[in-house]
Amino acid sequence: MISHAIAADGLVSPQEVRLACREGRLSGTTRGLAIGYVQCNLVVIRERYAYEFLLYCQRNQRACPVLEVTDTGDPEPKHLAPGADLRTDLPRYAVYRDGRRLPDLTSIKELWRDDFVSFLIGSGISFDQALEKAGVQTTQDRWVLRTSLQTVPAGRFQGPLVVTMRWLSPAQAITATQVTARFPFNHGAPLHIGDPTVIGADLMEPYFGPPVEAIPTSIVPVFWACGVTPQEAALSAKVDVMITHSPGHGFVTDLEASKLALP
């Protein structure tokens, strides 16, 4: 079992992380692993939904930065991690049938179909590392929230924009805005700063994090579009089968995060 302590020391390459998943030695979070490499959210759906889903992502690029779409039936992400296998190389998968979540799996080899298409979507985990480097802590005071902002629909896919909220000091909020603006292909700059009610952020039922009763006056809430958005849209579209990474258990690519950033 690869411990997070080892990972946090940056001793683990993307290849090592994926191999550990494939061999059943890693089923925990990828947060803190293979530091400096882009991690992706995974969405696997049938080809019959692929056009509408890709269109949905195109129309909501900020929340859904598609970094790779595999050929139909092919589990290899040839661009982001040649030789990898999306059926085995993530630590943990969430499986949905008709919008209902089934127990998580550590491999989806048994479920694989010839008409599956895999979408790899940029994850905030990638720029967390740039934030940490700039002195902005990323592990605490972080939420994933539904908002009252609506995404642009495409066919059967639609739904609310989901955001990541961080509680930062005013100075950190400024730094974080600058750092994340350098990642236009990975959520980019914040879409909102300050009063959560302006975007209708649902503080009482977060997807991630404890309910928020009150926001301390000393901090600034900062909001970014979140890669959970397309997953929620696919869920509410009730596609017959959808497989995703389990939250926090992303796909580690060979792409260096710095290559995704503007200078």
- Residue from 10, 51, 98, 240 that binds a copy of itself (CB under 8 A)? 51
Under the binding rule (CB under 8 A), the answer on residue 152 touching a copy of itself is yes
Smallest separation, CB 54 to a copy of itself (Å) = 5
- Determine, following the binding rule CB under 8 A, whether residue 79 of this chain makes contact with a copy of itself: yes
The Cα 186–Cα 76 span in angstroms is 21
**Do 117 and 46 contact (CB within 8 A), yes or no?**
yes
Question: Diameter of the chain by CA atoms?
Answer: 53
Shortest gap between Cβ of 250 and a copy of itself (angstroms)? 20
Determine if 114 is a binding residue for a copy of itself (CB under 8 A): no
d(CA 27, CA 107): 10
Burial, 106: exposed, middle or buried (Cβ in 10 Å; 0-12, 13-18, 19+)?
A: middle
Nearest-approach distance from CB 231 to a copy of itself, in angstroms: 18
d(CA 37, CA 81): 11
In Å, what is the CA distance from 208 to each residue of 17, 100, 144, 228, 248?
24, 19, 5, 11, 10
Q: How far is the CB of 53 from a copy of itself (least distance, A)?
A: 10
Query: Does 59 engage in binding with a copy of itself (CB under 8 A)?
Result: yes
- Is residue 156 near a copy of itself by the rule CB under 8 A? no
DSSP conformational letter for 97: E
Q: Which is nearer to a copy of itself, 79 or 142 (CB)?
A: 79
Enter the tokens of residue 7: 């990972």
How many of the chain's residues bind a copy of itself (CB under 8 A)?
A: 16
Query: Which of 6, 19, 35, 54 forms a contact with a copy of itself (CB under 8 A)?
Result: 54
Examine residue 174 and tell whether it contacts a copy of itself (CB under 8 A).
no
Residue numbers at the binding site for a copy of itself (CB under 8 A) = 50-51, 54-55, 58-59, 66, 68-69, 79, 152, 181, 184-185, 262-263
